[in-house]
Amino acid sequence: MNIALPPMGWNSWNTFGPDISDQLIVETARAMKEKGYLEKGYEYVVIDDIWSLHERDENVRLVPDPEKFPRGMKALADDIHALGFKFGMYSCAGLLTCAGYPSSFDHEFIDAQTFADWGVDFLKYDFCNFPPYANGRQRYAMMSMALKATGRDILFSACNWGTDEPWKWMDSIGVHMYRSTGDIHDNFQSFTDIAKSQLNNFCMSGPHCFNDIDMLTIGMYGKGNVALGEACTTRDYQTQFALWCMLSAPLMLGGDVRRMDPDCESLLKNDGLLRINQDPECRPPQIVYRGRVVSREADPATGGRWHEYPDCGLTLFKHLSGGEFAIGYFNFAPLAGEVPCLFADAGLPAASGFGLRLRDAMTGRDLGLQQDRYDLTVDGHGCRVLLGRLEKIG
Ligand code: GLA
């Protein structure tokens, strides 16, 4: 199965946790179609943990909870497919799922076949309750084989939270995306820590096997299953989406798409950012600046007229196909400050005689032909993302 671009879709966990049902999944898929998410590429609809009964049936097969999924999974998958989506489900490599439901340890081949029989196109495979006597790599390899043995194309989405440096070996065992960090929470600290922790591992992410820094929380605004800590603002969500896009990370929505805030909805469908995420070359960005941000706004904490925030500035420079480049400026400090981009750090010194013709990726606004450097004042917790092309000066 050739997964050439970062997978895009929706997953039930971040907002709904245990409160999932046939009705919710169908309503979500319908909303994604009607509101144009499918058209933008969000094609996987994935049911996470807490979908089954606690006991397997007499044939040792997993059984959907009849209260939540009264029609069973095949009928639901058929409806999801009829709407034009691919259908995803969840299991776990351990003895029980994270929420304590039956898991696929020693049932890899029968469970893979069950998923294939139901019409599943995507399997998220977690790592809770993994027995200490077993080998994690081998069990992920086993489920990968079990999925292949079904003969059905099923995207294998491993989720071992970075255990044993998955960026070094998940690709080799046929996995298509792998979670590299612990669970995201719907707050600024959580998602920025997650993205920063993986900046240097994206050189091992790309076509066929993507580093997955978890489902997005955009649009949750402090409500839902992973709404812990201080709720995000719309600006925080822009920064979240821009980070995931600059890294070419999988884009799995975690909010309630049926009632998404309009600003968040247009963010998730922003063509400039999606073009960067889905660039066919899927190159990792270069880190051209990582360091302090100096803010000249009065700091409410100290009352000082300016304040320095160590390690809060980040500039990412990404080569795209078709002779384009993306530049992402991030300010993780709470107050506005300058984030630099010296073109020489990306290989373009002033003496080259070339500059970059820049435009704002989110708004399309033309920013002119810039030479040598282009620094920006970025709002606190904010970002700016630009697209550019080389152009001869003069
Ligand atoms: C783990 C995963 C989450 C989610 C839950 C479900 O914590 O990392 O993404 O699937 O399990 O219980």
pLDDT band at 207 (very low <50, low <70, confident <90, very high): very high
Instruction: Give nearest CA residue, ligand 1 atom 12.
Output: 98
**CATH code of the domain covering residue 154:** 3.20.20.70
Which residues are CB-contacts of 41 (< 8 A; sequence separation ≥ 6)? 8, 251, 274, 278
Is 268 found in the same domain as 212?
yes
Is 97 found in the same domain as 50?
yes
79 lines ligand 1 (CB under 6 A): no
Range of the domain at 229: 8-277
Is 315 found in the same domain as 254?
no
pLDDT per residue as tens digits for the range 301-352 = 767 678 899 999 999 999 999 999 999 999 999 999 999 999 999 999 999 9
Query: Of the residues 14, 46, 126, 253, which should be mutated to test ligand 1's pocket, given the most ligand atoms within 8 Å of the CB?
Result: 126
Instruction: Give nearest CA residue, ligand 1 atom 8.
Output: 183
Q: Ligand 1: which atom is nearest the Cα of residue 90?
A: 10
Is 293 found in the same domain as 268?
no
Average pLDDT over residues 84-97: 98
Is 323 found in the same domain as 215?
no
Q: How many Å lie between the centroid of ligand 1 and the Cα of residue 179?
A: 10
Is 337 found in the same domain as 272?
no
Is 93 found in the same domain as 237?
yes
Residue 171 located in a structural domain: yes
Average pLDDT over residues 37-46: 98
Q: Ligand 1: which atom is nearest the Cα of residue 99?
A: 12
pLDDT per residue as tens digits for the range 343-356 = 999 999 999 999 99
Computed over every residue of the chain, the mean pLDDT equals 97
Residue 3 located in a structural domain: no
Number of domain units in the chain: 2
pLDDT above 90 for 170? yes
Q: Ligand 1: which atom is nearest the Cα of residue 161?
A: 8
| Token duo for residue 186 | 């719907």
Query: Of the residues 16, 49, 163, which should be mutated to test ligand 1's pocket, given the most ligand atoms within 8 Å of the CB?
Result: 49
**CATH code of the domain covering residue 316:** 2.60.40.1180
- The dihedrals phi and psi of 240, each to the nearest 5 degrees, come to -60, -50
Q: Is 133 exposed, middle or buried (0-12, 13-18, 19+ CB in 10 A)?
A: exposed
